[in-house]
Amino acid sequence: MLAYTEKLLNDHHLAEDIVQETLVRAWHHADRLYDSEGSVRGWLLTVARNLVIDRSRGGFHRYEVIGSDTLDVVQRDHADAVAAAVTVTEMLDSLSTEHREVLVHTYLWGRTVRETAEVLGIPVGTAKSRQHYALNYLRKSERYERSPAGVRA
């Protein structure tokens, strides 16, 4: 199979990649491979040929891949991230301290509701309800700000 794909590609390393991918696909379809009619060898060579064809149709074969020598360094505009951070901060400031604490622990610090309850010294049910009501409040206030009239109260 390696000799076959190497002959198709004229690239030993790429042929090794194709053979590896072919064998991975054979592994994933082993049950179907041995239950069907036809030879395993034929199936493997067909899969390898199809992978070679797929590779040749991609941008890699047409030299559309951007190399490091042609890559211009582009600085990302971080204005959207700053604006989003300001909006989130304003929305969190509109919550009560209890609701804000639960959201900060669960979303910003990645804690579970149970861990948040333990850190804050409150029952798990209380933490869940504070999270629920805080998120509902934020959803409603976001919808109101995006209303067609664009009027904020």
Which pLDDT tens digit goes with each residue over 37-80?
Answer: 777 888 888 889 999 888 877 655 555 555 555 555 666 777 88
Angle of helix 124-145 relative to helix 79-93, nearest 10 degrees? 120
User: Domain 79-145, what fold?
Assistant: Arc Repressor Mutant, subunit A (1.10.10)
Residue whose C-alpha is closest to residue 29's, from 12, 17, 46: 46
**pTM above threshold 0.95:** no
